A and B are shown apart, each in its own frame.
Chain A
Amino acid sequence: MDAIILQILNGLDKGSAYALIALGLTLIFGTLGVVNFAHGALFMIGAFCSVTLQRMLSTSFEMVDETQTDFLGNPLKVETPYVEAWFGPEVGAAIIDWSVPLAIFLAIPVMIAVGFAMERGLIKHFYKRPHADQILVTFGLAIVIGEIIKANFGANPISTPAPEAFRGAMDFGVLLGFEPNTIIYPYWRLVYFLFAIVIIASVFAFLQFTTFGMVVRAGMADRETVGLLGIDIDKRFTFMFGLAAAVAGLAGVMYTPILSPHYNIGMDFLVLSFVVVVVGGMGSLPGAVLAGFVLGILQSFASMNEVKAILPGIDQIIIYLVAIIILLTRPRGLMGRKGVMEE
Chain B
Amino acid sequence: MSKSTISRRGVLKTGAIAGAGLALPTYLRADGHTGYTNAPGDSPTVTIGFNVPQTGPYAEEGLDELRAQELAVEHLNGEGDGGMLNTFSEKNLDGTGILGKKVEFVTGDTQTKSDVARASAQSMIQKDGCIMITGGSSSGVAVAVQDLCQSSGVIFMAGLTHSNDTTGKDRKANGFRHFFNGFMSGAALGPVLEAEYGNERSAYHLTADYNWGWTTQESIQATTEGLGWQTQEAVLTPVGAGDFSSYIAPVLNSGADTLILNHYGGDMVNSLTQAVQFGLKDRQVNGNDFKIIVPLYSELMAAGAGANIQGVIGSMNWNWQLEDEGTKAFVKSFGEKYGFPPSGAAHTCYVQTLLYADAVTRAGTFNPCGVVEALEDFEFDGMGNGPTTYRGADHQCFKDVLVVKGTENPTNQYDTLEIVDQTPRSQVEYAPDHPMFGGAEASLGTCNPGA
Residue numbers of A with Cβ under 8 A of B are 2-3, 6-7, 10-11, 13-14, 68, 70-72, 76, 150, 154-159, 161, 167-169, 181-186, 188-189, 257-260, 262, 264-265, 268, 299-300, 303-305, 308, 315-316
Q: Say whether chain B's binding surface is mostly helix, strand, loop, or mixed.
A: helix
Contact B279 A184 (CB under 8 A): yes
Q: How far is the CA of A72 from the CA of B81 in the complex (A)?
A: 14
For B240, give the chain A residue with the smallest CB separation.
A268
Contact A264 B249 (CB under 8 A): no
Contact A168 B57 (CB under 8 A): no
B310 nearest CB across to chain A (Å) = 12
Encode contact with A along B253-269: 1 for CB under 8 Å, 0 otherwise.
10000000000001001
For A76, give the chain B residue with the smallest CB separation.
B412
Contact B246 A299 (CB under 8 A): yes
For A316, give the chain B residue with the smallest CB separation.
B238
Once A71-B341, A150-B59 are accepted as A-B contacts, the answer to whether A258 and B277 lie under 8 Å apart by CB is yes
Residues of chain B within 8 A (CB-CB) of A308 are 235
Contact B335 A72 (CB under 8 A): yes
| CB contact list, B108-158 vs A, under 8 A | none
A169 nearest CB across to chain B (Å) = 4
Once A184-B252, A303-B246, A315-B238 are accepted as A-B contacts, the answer to whether A155 and B56 lie under 8 Å apart by CB is yes
Q: How far is the CA of A304 from the CA of B245 in the complex (A)?
A: 11
Once A158-B304, A260-B270, A305-B235 are accepted as A-B contacts, the answer to whether A182 and B246 lie under 8 Å apart by CB is no
Contact A304 B246 (CB under 8 A): yes
> Does B430 make an interface contact (CB < 8 A)?
no
Subset of 5 A-B contacts with CB under 8 Å: A10-B246, A154-B59, A159-B307, A258-B274, A260-B269
Residues of chain B within 8 A (CB-CB) of A188 are 277
Once A76-B412, A259-B243 are accepted as A-B contacts, the answer to whether A161 and B307 lie under 8 Å apart by CB is yes
The tally of residues in B whose CB lies under 8 Å from a CB in A reads 48
> Does B378 make an interface contact (CB < 8 A)?
no
Q: How far is the CA of A98 from the CA of B233 in the complex (A)?
A: 37
Contacting residue for B60 out of A6, A156, A259, CB 8 A: A156
Q: How far is the CA of A10 from the CA of B341 in the complex (A)?
A: 39
B138 nearest CB across to chain A (Å) = 14
Across the A-B interface, how many residue pairs have beta carbons closer than 8 Å?
124
Once A258-B274, A316-B238 are accepted as A-B contacts, the answer to whether A155 and B55 lie under 8 Å apart by CB is yes
B315 nearest CB across to chain A (Å) = 20
Contact B58 A159 (CB under 8 A): no
Contact B277 A315 (CB under 8 A): no
Q: How far is the CA of A185 from the CA of B253 in the complex (A)?
A: 13
Q: How far is the CA of A161 from the CA of B306 in the complex (A)?
A: 8
Contact B336 A159 (CB under 8 A): no
Q: How far is the CA of A158 from the CA of B306 in the complex (A)?
A: 8
Contact B60 A155 (CB under 8 A): yes
Contact B306 A159 (CB under 8 A): yes
Residues of chain A within 8 A (CB-CB) of B253 are 2-3, 182
Most chain B Cβ neighbours within 10 Å, of A3, A156, A188, A316: A156
Contact A159 B59 (CB under 8 A): no
| CB contact list, B215-266 vs A, under 8 A | 233, 235, 238, 240, 242-243, 245-247, 249-250, 252-253, 266
Contact B58 A303 (CB under 8 A): no
Residue numbers of B with Cβ under 8 A of A are 55-60, 233, 235, 238, 240, 242-243, 245-247, 249-250, 252-253, 266, 269-270, 273-274, 277-279, 282-283, 300-301, 303-308, 320-321, 331-332, 335-336, 340-341, 411-412, 414
B88 nearest CB across to chain A (Å) = 21
B222 nearest CB across to chain A (Å) = 22
Q: How far is the CA of A308 from the CA of B304 in the complex (A)?
A: 30
Q: How far is the CA of A150 from the CA of B320 in the complex (A)?
A: 26
B73 nearest CB across to chain A (Å) = 22
A290 nearest CB across to chain B (Å) = 20
Once A154-B60, A258-B277 are accepted as A-B contacts, the answer to whether A300 and B246 lie under 8 Å apart by CB is yes
For A71, give the chain B residue with the smallest CB separation.
B341
Once A13-B245, A184-B279 are accepted as A-B contacts, the answer to whether A71 and B57 lie under 8 Å apart by CB is no
Residues of chain B within 8 A (CB-CB) of A183 are 252
Q: How far is the CA of A189 from the CA of B341 in the complex (A)?
A: 35
Give 12 new A-B contacts, CB below 8 A, not counting A159-B308, A300-B246: A3-B250, A6-B249, A155-B55, A156-B266, A156-B300, A159-B269, A159-B273, A168-B279, A169-B277, A184-B252, A185-B278, A305-B233
Contacting residue for B57 out of A6, A155, A158, A181, CB 8 A: A155
Contact A260 B273 (CB under 8 A): yes
A36 nearest CB across to chain B (Å) = 21
Residues of chain B within 8 A (CB-CB) of A260 are 266, 269-270, 273, 304-305
B224 nearest CB across to chain A (Å) = 19
Q: How far is the CA of A158 from the CA of B301 in the complex (A)?
A: 9
Q: Nearest 5 CB-CB pairs, A to B?
A: A159-B306, A303-B246, A155-B59, A169-B279, A186-B277
Once A168-B279, A186-B277 are accepted as A-B contacts, the answer to whether A159 and B304 lie under 8 Å apart by CB is yes
Contact B266 A262 (CB under 8 A): yes
B71 nearest CB across to chain A (Å) = 15
Q: How far is the CA of A157 from the CA of B331 in the complex (A)?
A: 25
Q: How far is the CA of A155 from the CA of B278 in the complex (A)?
A: 26
Most chain A Cβ neighbours within 10 Å, of B58, B240, B306: B306
Q: How far is the CA of A185 from the CA of B341 in the complex (A)?
A: 38
Q: How far is the CA of A259 from the CA of B278 in the complex (A)?
A: 13
Residues of chain B within 8 A (CB-CB) of A181 are 252, 283
For A162, give the chain B residue with the smallest CB separation.
B277
Once A189-B277, A305-B250 are accepted as A-B contacts, the answer to whether A70 and B412 lie under 8 Å apart by CB is yes
